[in-house]
Structure 1
Amino acid sequence: MASDTPVQHHALVLSKVGEPMVLETRPVPKPGPGSVIIRVLAASVRSNTPHVYRDPNSGHPLPLPFVPGFAAIGKVVDIGPDATKLKPGQLVFFDPYIQGRDDLETIYVSGLMEGFTEGKDPHPLSRAEWRDSTYAEYAKLPLENCHALNEQRLLGDAKDGGLGYTMDDLTHIFSMLIPFGGLADIDVKAGDTVIIAPATGRYGSAAVHVALAMGSRVIAIGRNAAILSQLETISPRLSTVQITNDIDKDTKALRSASPGGVDAFWDMSPPAAGTSTHFRSCLNVLNSGGRVSLEGSVVSGVSFSYMDILMGGLTIKGTWMCTREQTMRLIRMVESGVLPLGATAGMGPVKTFKLEQWKEALDTAAVRTEPGEIVFAP
């Protein structure tokens, strides 16, 4: 461990859903085989984070008591004896999708949800070695979930071949991770026309940037006219359509925005969107052989029918998170400059909070769902 690493650190602890978090002083964790210790520089607070930690009926089982968290960026301070690539001092991105090493179907979304695959017990992951997540000054994490970032390239000055990003800029990767998984799963590529729905939230707007970086033409749809107007300035390959809940009217608007038809449709609708008419409107403009990615949380049925899939030759793929290979591919896109980050790329603001400001951070996340990031910066 680095000589300047303290013996103790601060960590947020949640003992019971609905009760206040407590900022505790704990020993800095030690690494073992297959693990790495990072000093957390930024940890993501999602829009559903307050719901998960405050509502006992959220449907997100948690390994209480534990240190909450999610995706993070940090500096390696210590490594286990079997690390072959990571070294102390390296900048890394932590992907919170933890899978069993001997059974990839056993999962734990670090800090946010124990897996619920039928017949799979996530407890060896979530209630033992990897219980605690990233809302802390230091975190012990699985080695394979920590991806090296090229600090010189990302944060370096342009005259030295760097991209000149700040840490705030890098936090936009947090919202891109999950959308990239879905877009990659349906093989979005250069020349495709892709509908992003809804495009006005944090994940949806991130999906717009990712799809553009993958070379596609994007139709961003949603109800918030102000945010759609902001998105329009990002790229000449981007069109926007404000949906009205009138299927015929929306279908006509989508056809006008895509004279050659649509190749793919990415959706991350919230639970209340089960009755939304945009599913029908988007299906109406899909080309034969179109691909559909579902990453939302709609719990009721949607207006997809057996014959829609059969006659349209549709491929429908459900995606929950992002594979390790996809995460590495996303990082390469950022490091190459193909996927620009930050305000200059048209991304939303970043709001940062200290650990002791946990209540303010959660309150902000509960009401602020528009593009941008909310992070703890311990």
Structure 2
Amino acid sequence: MGEPLKLENRPTPQAGPGSVVVKILTAKIVSYLGDVYNGKRKYSLPTPLVPGCAAIGRVAAVGPDATQLSIGDLVFVDIYLRGRDDPTKTALSGVHEGHDEESSRLMRGEWRDSTFAEYAKLPLENCYKLDEKRLLGPKTEGGLGYTVEDLLGMTGQVVSYGGLRSIGIEPGDKVIVSPATGPFGSAAVQVALSMGASVIAMGRNTEALKRLQVIFGTDRLQLVRITNDQRQEMEALARCGLADAFFDISPPMAAGSSHIISGILSLKHSGRVCFMGSLIGEVPIPIMHLTTKNLTIKGKWMYERTDVWKMVQMVESGLLKLGHEAGWVTVEKYKLEQWAEAFSSAAQHAGPGEQVVFTM
């Protein structure tokens, strides 16, 4: 990755055509970011750069072609960069420069720097205006009473929503979510429930699974342990009833796990599968089961722009909860100069209902 991270002073970026400058209020620290920047996770990144993750901020300046955003607006900052002339070329600002040469150009020039800063210059289309009065206003005045840090819960929700929506999850569906005990998997449980589905949450950690039951407290949630014994897993899944869909967001350390096949074999006829994780290695697919059950398998990288707007609408309507009402808490807040401690804390608080953030 090059030299270690360090804090430095830079000139405030300037907005030009197609860009917006945002004063960052708070930024998410995903649990594995420390391993990205120390090189343990072999993510491709140009250096030097300003790292970052999804953030909440206030518009400080806009380019001359802005049509919706104005100075002072509260915005959700989406780090999923897309090529304007080819939206299939993508990168994650501050995290990953993409999977091919064309995608990497997005972060090797204009959009090299991300959100772990007081001010960040971003593509105009990556900043989503939020209804500040509704989200942050007191409940006595029709608001939802969230804090700015609560709004970062949308970070995991939008990833999960993009995957679930890509396989057409509808009210009444039964969805297997695995693994459901990490930050993105637990968000998928919440989002699927908010979409009207029932959920079978799979995970290795029994206590973390039970925590999901406490957080969401609904009879539409069932729990199944991942044991690496396919027979045991399938028997447990069978007791929950056949599922309509299987959503998997496994991390690299889940390579070789039995739960992938267990989930696929536990689907109804015409069931759907969505893979969103970074599972490393090949997985044998039961082709006969796939064809005789008319199953659909889909890979999904992140989400679409329409997914972000739809999710924001769900949050602003009150349908998709944030903060304490959803059982989510900000465990720790750090300043940028505390980055080493912040990354360590985030790695330790990767369970359901926990987040660690930077505040500026």
Q: Deviations over 1:336-378 (max 9, x none)?
A: 1110111222225442211000000111223332122121111
Distance 1:217 1:24 in 2: 48
Shift, 1:123, TM fit:
4.3
Number of matched pairs:
357
Mapped contact 2:265–2:289 kept (Cα < 8 A):
no
Distance 2:178 2:7 in 1: 38
Distance 1:73 1:197 in 2: 28
Cross-structure match for 1:87: 70
Q: Deviations over 1:215-250 (max 9, x none)?
A: 100111101111111111312211111222222222
Going from structure 1 to structure 2, the CA distance change for 1:306 and 1:44 (only over 3 Å counts) comes to same
Aligned with residue 341 of structure 1, among 308, 322, 327:
322
Aligned with residue 239 of structure 1, among 210, 219, 222:
222
Is 1:141 the counterpart of 2:125? The answer is no
Cross-structure match for 1:4: none
- Between 331-340 and 269-278, the greater mean CA deviation after superposition: 269-278
Cross-structure match for 1:101: 84
Mapped contact 2:177–2:202 kept (Cα < 8 A):
yes
Is 1:376 the counterpart of 2:358? The answer is yes
Cross-structure match for 2:292: 311
Distance 1:207 1:274 in 2: 20
What letter matches 1:78 in structure 2? A
Alignment of 1:166-205 (within 5 A): 166-205=147-186
Mapped contact 1:99–1:105 kept (Cα < 8 A):
yes
Alignment of 1:281-360 (within 5 A): 281-360=262-341
Cross-structure match for 1:71: 54
Distance 1:368 1:154 in 2: 25
Shift, 1:20, TM fit:
2.5
TM-score, L = length of structure 2: 0.96
Cross-structure match for 2:131: 150
Mapped contact 2:274–2:300 kept (Cα < 8 A):
yes
Is 1:274 the counterpart of 2:255? The answer is yes
Cross-structure match for 2:16: 32
Cross-structure match for 1:7: none
Distance 2:27 2:9 in 1: 18
Cross-structure match for 1:212: 193
Distance 1:274 1:66 in 2: 31
Identity, in percent, stands at 48
- Between 104-113 and 204-213, the greater mean CA deviation after superposition: 104-113
Distance 2:123 2:253 in 1: 35
Distance 2:171 2:80 in 1: 28
Q: Deviations over 1:161-219 (max 9, x none)?
A: 11111122111111212111111111111000001101111111111111111110011
Distance 1:321 1:129 in 2: 22
Secondary structure of the corresponding residue to residue 92 of structure 1: strand
Distance 1:346 1:319 in 2: 27
Is 1:42 the counterpart of 2:23? The answer is no
Q: Deviations over 1:20-53 (max 9, x none)?
A: 3111111111100011111101112112211111
Secondary structure of the corresponding residue to residue 189 of structure 2: helix
Secondary structure of the corresponding residue to residue 272 of structure 1: helix
Please give the root-mean-square deviation of Cα atoms over the aligned residues, in Å: 1.4
Mapped contact 1:175–1:373 kept (Cα < 8 A):
no
Q: Deviations over 1:37-75 (max 9, x none)?
A: 1110111211221111101x6331112101000111100
Cross-structure match for 1:132: 113
Mapped contact 2:180–2:201 kept (Cα < 8 A):
yes
Distance 1:350 1:314 in 2: 40
Any gaps of 5 or more consecutive residues in structure 1? 1-15
Mapped contact 2:135–2:146 kept (Cα < 8 A):
yes
Cross-structure match for 1:265: 246
Secondary structure of the corresponding residue to residue 140 of structure 1: strand
Shift, 1:293, TM fit:
0.7
Mapped contact 2:346–2:355 kept (Cα < 8 A):
no
Aligned with residue 52 of structure 1, among 20, 36, 41:
36
TM-score, L = length of structure 1: 0.91
Aligned with residue 141 of structure 2, among 149, 157, 160:
160
Distance 2:104 2:223 in 1: 44
Distance 1:58 1:256 in 2: 38
Distance 1:313 1:59 in 2: 37
Distance 1:137 1:44 in 2: 14
Mapped contact 1:168–1:350 kept (Cα < 8 A):
no
Distance 2:208 2:348 in 1: 16
